[in-house]
Amino acid sequence: MKRKIYVLGSLNNDLVIYVDKLPKPGETIFGKNFMTNVGGKGGNQAVAASMLEENVFMISAVGDDYYSENLVKQLNLKGVNTKYIKALKNQKSGTALIVSSLDDNQIIVDKGANDLVDYKDFFENEKINEQDILIVQYEIPIKIANEGLKIAKSKNMITILNPAPAVKLDDEIYQYVDYLILNQSESEIIFEIYPEKNQDFDKIIEIMKQKTIKNVLITLGSKGALLIENNNKFYQEAFKITPIDTTGAGDAFIGAFAYGISNNLSPQEKLKFANATSALACLKKGAMQAMPKLEEVKKFMKEK
C-alpha cells in the first residue's frame, strides 16, 4: 500500500520584495517586483511532496481574514488534502515578510493562526498506517510539534523534524525523530557547529552517538547535502544552476526527501532526488508555486 505523508505545520501568506542586496539594520533601500504568495514551511513541504504525486495531508490552521480562504484553496489546487486545516474565527492567518536577493533571503514571520495549530482532530479521526510519514517544523508551537512527533512514533510512523526556525532542542525529543533535517545555520544553533568540513560532520556524528540521535541530514546550499544515516555518511553535491529565487528551496528538499522515503529509495538516491527537486524550485519565483512536478524532476535528472 502507498504510504501517506502528513505535514503538521504552518501556512503563511508570503509578502515578497526582491532586492539586489539585503539591507543592513537601519537601512532603507529600494526593492522591486512585489508579490503576494501562498507559503509557510509546512505548506511548502506539503505541496512539494504532493507535486511529486504523493498522497499528502496538511494539519494546520488559518484565520478568517482576507487571505485565509485562498491559503486553503491553493493547497487544494496542488492536490493536498486540507480536511485537517482549521479555519479559526477572529484570527489572522500567518504572514511572512520576505526580502529576497539572488543568493539569500531574510524572513520575518507573524505566526497568527499557526500559533493555534492542534493535532487532536487528526490523531482522533485519521486512519494512520505504520510507516506513514509525519513531517513537522517549528513555525507552530514547539510543544504541539514535539507532542505530535511523540504520538506519531507511538503509532510507528516515520517522523521527520525540520527544526526551523531553529531553537536549542531538548535531548528528550530525539527518541521520537527518525530524520532531523536542518541547514548549516540551524546546525550552528542546535549542535554549535556550522558544518563545512569533514571534521565538522565527524563531530556531529559524535554528538549523535552521545545523544542517541538516529539520522541527521544537513542541507549545504549550493554545496549539496550530507546525510548521516545509521552512522554512515552519504554526500551528494548540488546540481549546478543559476538560481532565480531560493525561497522555499529547503522545503522543496524536505518534501522530496519524504518522497524518497515513501518510495524506498537508497540513501544516495534520496539525496540526489531531493537535490534535484530543490534545484528546480530555485529556478522559479516564489516558494510553494515554484515546486516542480515529478516528471520535471525526472527529466532534469536525466538531462544533467
Binding-site size for ligand RIB (CB under 6 A) equals 15
Residue 186 lies near ligand RIB (rule: CB under 6 A): no
Handedness of CA 134, 287, 53, 74 (dihedral sign): positive
Q: Which of residues 2 and 73 has its CB atom nearest to ligand RIB in the complex?
A: 73
Question: Given 118, 178, 245, 251, which residue is catalytic?
Answer: 251
Out of 12, 74, 81, 82, the only residue in the binding site for ligand RIB (CB under 6 A) is: 12
Query: Are 159 and 134 a contacting pair, CB within 8 Å?
Result: yes
- Can 251 be counted among the known catalytic residues? yes
Q: Report the distance separating Cα 184 and Cα 187, nearest Å.
A: 5
Binding segment (CB under 6 A) for ligand RIB, from list 28-36, 153-161, 178-186, 246-254: 246-254
End-to-end C-alpha distance for the chain, whole angstroms: 32
Measured from the CB of residue 284, what is the shortest distance to ligand RIB in angstroms?
Answer: 13
Closest distance between ligand RIB and the C-beta of residue 142, in Å?
Answer: 15
- Give the binding range for ligand RIB (CB under 6 A) out of 54-62, 119-127, 231-239, 242-250: 242-250
Question: Which neighbouring-strand residues pair with 105?
Answer: 100
Q: Which range, of 38-46, 65-73, 123-131, 223-231, touches ligand RIB by CB under 6 A?
A: 38-46
Sheet arrangement for strand 32-39: 32-39, 12-18, 94-100, 105-110
- Strands 12-18 and 32-39, bridge-based pairing: antiparallel
- Distance CA(235)–CA(225), nearest Å, equals 6
- For the chain, where are the alpha helices, taking DSSP H only? 41-51, 68-77, 120-125, 142-154, 184-191, 198-211, 249-262, 267-281, 294-303
Q: Which of 9, 60, 251, 262 binds ligand RIB (CB under 6 A)?
A: 251
Q: Site for ligand RIB (CB under 6 A): which residue of 5, 44, 278, 290?
A: 44
Q: How far apart are CA 188 and CA 103, in angstroms?
A: 20
The one segment of 17-25, 71-79, 244-252, 292-300 that binds ligand RIB by CB under 6 A:
244-252
Query: Nearest residue by C-beta to ligand RIB?
Result: 39
The per-type count for the chain, helices as H runs and strands as E runs, is 9, 13
What does the binding site for ligand RIB look like in residue numbers (CB under 6 A)?
A: 12, 14, 39-41, 44, 96, 107, 109, 139, 247-248, 250-251, 287
User: Which residues are known to be catalytic?
Assistant: 251
